[in-house]
Amino acid sequence: MYKEQLIKALNGGEAFQPLKTHLEQVPFEKIGIRPEGLPYSIYELFYHIVYTQKDILNFVFSDKYQNPKWPEDYWPKNLAPQSKNEWMSLQESYFSDRNQLIEIVKDKANDLNKIVKNGTHQTLLREILLVIEHTAYHTGQIVVLSRLLSQ
């Protein structure tokens, strides 16, 4: 039962709409705009979500994991993607990695309470919850930005 709840949360949860819904509502021309007084654009936030999710997957499974530098590696160098293709590729990467996490949860062979490959005390469950919480937090920021940009 709890695995179904984790999968539902990875897909968007019960307390927040799926990230895909919000990404589809923002015109490409606006994703690189930082509203006055805010330190990030929708692109920057989404890039950060994608990078962090990928980093967590690498932390869990990679034989050659190295800690990225905080904060510079976790945030893009640009306010906006260079093209629509780059933006679409970033979205494809996010959903591919998210689907990989869902398959990990579904796999009965995976013990969610087992310490992950590069962890000292971090379990698979903890890492999945971290992805869910992190994505939900920044999705909320994307919602606010999209509302500000639509005014």
Tell me the pTM.
0.96
Overall domain count for the chain: 1
Residue 133's domain comprises 2-149
Q: What is the CATH number of the domain that holds 57?
A: 1.20.120.450
129 CB-contact burial (10 Å; exposed 0-12 / middle 13-18 / buried 19+): middle
Q: What is the pLDDT of residues 78-120, one digit of tens each?
A: 999 999 999 999 999 999 999 999 999 999 999 999 999 999 9
CA distances from 38 to 35, 122, 135, 145 (A): 6, 33, 19, 9
Each residue's pLDDT tens digit in the chain (151 positions)? 789 999 999 998 777 788 998 899 999 999 999 999 999 999 999 999 999 999 999 999 999 999 999 999 999 999 999 999 999 999 999 999 999 999 999 999 999 999 999 999 999 999 999 999 999 999 999 999 999 998 7
